[in-house]
Amino acid sequence: MSVEKVDLPLSLTVNPRLEQWLKFETDETVRVATGKVEIGQGVVTALSQIAAEELDLPLDRVVMLSGDSDEGPDERYTSSSLSIMVSGASIRLVCAEARALLVARAALRLNCSAAQLSVADGRFFVDGAASDISYWSVAPEIDWGQTATGSVAPKAPAEYRIVGQNVPRQDLPAKLAGGAYIYDRIPDDVVHARMLRQPGRDAVLRALDEAAVRHAAGGEIEIFQRGNFVAFLGADERSVEAAAAAAVAHAKWANAPDIEPGQQGAAWLRGQPSDDRQYGAEVNPDAPGEVVEARFSRPYIAHASLAPSCALAQFSGEHLTIWSHGQGMHPLRRNIAEVLELPIEAITAKHLNGPGCYGHNGADDVALDVAIIAMHKPGSCIRLQWRREEEFGFEPFGPAMLVDLRVRLDEEGRPADWTAEVWSPTHVQRPGTGSGFLLAAAALPNPPAAPVPQDPLEEAGGGGTRNATPYYDIPKTRILHHLVTAPPVRTSALRTLGALPNVFALEAMIDDLAIRAGADPLDYRLSMLSDPRARAVLKTVAKRADWSQRGKGGEGQGLGLAFARYKNTAAYAAVAVALRVDEQVHLDHIWVVADGGLVINPDGVRNQLEGGAIQGASWTLKEQVTMLGQGVTSLDWDSYPILRFSEIPEIEAEVLNQPEQPSLGVGECSVSPTAAAIGNSVAHALGHRIHDMPLSRERIMAALLN
């Protein structure tokens, strides 16, 4: 194996010791630890493939430990499609180094050179002849406390036998047999809990009609109050559920929010107080050339996980253990330690499977809720599940966005300069990464100061500005970003952040400019797209969708396409959508073609591409959070509909194989181009552009009347 100097991935810098990643167990398996967690994306399976590959072991000898704040590495949150790029790169280097150490040690024991050794199933062979030693017999002689150097070169992709294969997800069998979730953990003497939520961070509880609440509960309950934090506890889950449901109407709050009718719309954002920044080139407003402008919008949307968030906690009197389906156990325990004023080491946070979260939903908040209650009842295991209305009402939402595009054309009708002006509340309020705090902290005595919103840095892909800069060859591009600081609801990370509205807007503009230039939208794109990988996904999707046979449009049948490279640095994706429009949109077929560099598990990636396309379609066609008065009013699946089985088109997802290219995060890349391709396909079908999401029945009807 050659030795070279490597820049260590961040996870390995933060968790430098080999033992933080690897443990050779006495049962002849290897425990490989990751801070990333399974959220339905198949990441744990993919990481096990990388480990098995570098260790030269069959997959069943690798046992993954994921999301354990005591025993696993701190890799912050599972987010931004970074798991394979960061955790995968770390595991690859660590395993390559471990293998080299084991081989060197075995060579010493067998008195041969490392070059004479080969490994099969963890056993050493000298010049092809079996020896009596294995990884597991040699491992105890190695100091695993040593720091990873990252200097052992991993295998060349041409040697891969496990990476790049379709490996079935390890978590699915148990899930299909009715097991595997945090929700299944109901200890015999568990104390069930439900919350009365403070309607806003400044709201003060003036009165709670406890008698009425107890009456509604039906069974025995305890009411626990600390400041504006109120919980109902008891042995019977239904009683605490009934108490919490009834309490909403029996609580009187001062200083509750009072949301006005216009505030739920994106249009409201313009003119609100904002933190303003400018990125990119200077653009001369008086330069010659025709200027084309358009305004696009997207309302607040929800994560809308299929189950309301849940957590368990138990305080021994000294140590607090938390079970959670959040996206990062290390940050969770840090954040909870801060609120509870406990030393970090006094808390253990363990991950258990939950419903898909698609970003920052209620999972972290419910963990603080239950921790507060557990501290009040030492010895008891507390189980808290949010009510459905609570998840819909209090999750941090995907922000509404308003996007103004202003494009100056050159003589060929191509963009000479491009300005995207974006209004949006922040896209990240994960405690510890930006400005937010765990929800219940505001209800306790001495609440934290109001957060000063920040967005992810531009280097990290930005938030409201994510993908606002076109990937096309345009001489001058700039972004004017208005980070709206006081939105009516809490907002935070939701799959793709601002990329969906930005790509929806920019790819609509590109289509409209193509029409204006008398060009085919595909040819127009290719005429200003020099990156060969971008061209390849676009051309392939066009072939799959039979683009050359596309009709002239305007008669209710649409075919549209769109392209984006996620964050302009991660995976490439092109999407084509065929649909029909009568009073509403009927999706017929979605084609997705992506390039994510080296792919660890192609079927796992296709699964993500398909899911992303459906979620993107659902946001584009149907979803909108409504709010009025004290808060959110879309509190169930009737008032917050999502795409159903009867609305699902045929979907084909294809991954272009690029084993020699580094892995690029793929989990989010199909979402935004799907939204944009639907927008373009609807415009093709109607002969009329709809600029505002969702593309609802009302908007279609209005467009038809036009």
Residues near ligand FES, by CB under 6 A: 40, 306, 356
CB of 174: closest distance to another protein in angstroms?
A: 6
Annotate each residue in 407-436 with x if it binds another protein (CB under 8 A) or - if it does not, as one string. ------------------------------
* CA-wise closest residue to 312 among 368, 362, 382, 372: 382
- The mark string for 441-480 relative to another protein (x by CB under 8 A, - otherwise) is ----------------------------------------
CA-closest candidate to residue 390, choices 204, 621, 632, 208: 632
Residue 76 Rama label (left phi>0; alpha psi -120 to 50; beta): left
Please return the burial class of 665, using the count of CB atoms within 10 Å of its CB with bins 0-12, 13-18 and 19+.
buried
Indicate which of ligand FES, another protein, none lies near residue 349 (CB less than 5 to 8 Å, by partner kind).
none
Shortest Cβ 64–another protein spacing (Å): 17
Provide the minimum distance between the beta carbon of 245 and ligand FES in the complex, in angstroms, as a whole number. Answer: 15
Determine if 84 is a binding residue for another protein (CB under 8 A). Answer: no
Alpha-carbon span 495 to 289, nearest angstrom: 37
Q: Please check whether residue 512 is in contact with residue 684, taking contact to mean a CB–CB distance below 8 angstroms.
A: no
C-alpha pair distances (Å), 132 with each of 135, 160, 322, 366, 641: 11, 27, 44, 52, 62
The option from another protein, ligand FES, none interacting with 184 (CB < 5 to 8 A, set by class) reads another protein
Say which amino acid occupies 319.
Answer: H
Annotate each residue in 357-386 with x if it binds another protein (CB under 8 A) or - if it does not, as one string.
-x--------------------------x-
> Among candidates 570, 577, 563, 478, which has minimal Cα distance to 524?
563
Q: Give residue for tokens 């049962």.
A: 27
- In Å, what is the CA distance from 405 to each residue of 168, 233, 479, 508? 44, 52, 10, 10
Least distance to another protein, CB of residue 387, Å: 8
The sign of the CA dihedral 406, 504, 691, 393 is negative
Please say which residue, 263 or 327, places its beta carbon nearer to ligand FES. Answer: 327
Q: From the list another protein, ligand FES, none, pick the one residue 215 interacts with, judged by a Cβ distance below 5 to 8 Å according to partner type.
A: none
- Structure tokens, 450: 């109001």
Q: Which is nearer to another protein, 102 or 366 (CB)?
A: 366
Helix (H/G/I), strand (E/B), else coil: 650 = strand
Q: Which of residues 173-192 bind another protein (CB under 8 A)?
A: 173-181, 183-184, 186
- If one asks whether residue 267 binds another protein (CB under 8 A), the answer comes out as no
Contacts with 13 (C-beta within 8 Å, 6 or more apart), sequence order: none
Q: Which of 610, 656, 661, 699 binds another protein (CB under 8 A)?
A: 610
Binds another protein by CB under 8 A, chosen from 304, 373, 522, 605 = 304
Say how many C-beta atoms besides its own lie within 10 A of residue 552's C-beta. 8
Q: Which of 60, 71, 114, 168 binds another protein (CB under 8 A)?
A: 168
Residue among 356 and 488 whose Cβ is closer to ligand FES: 356
Q: Tell me the closest approach of the beta carbon of residue 632 to ligand FES, in angstroms.
A: 19
Query: Residue numbers of the site for another protein (CB under 8 A)?
Result: 39-42, 168-169, 171-181, 183-184, 186, 218, 237-238, 304-308, 353-356, 358, 385, 388, 603-604, 607-608, 610-615, 618, 636-638, 642-646, 648, 650-651
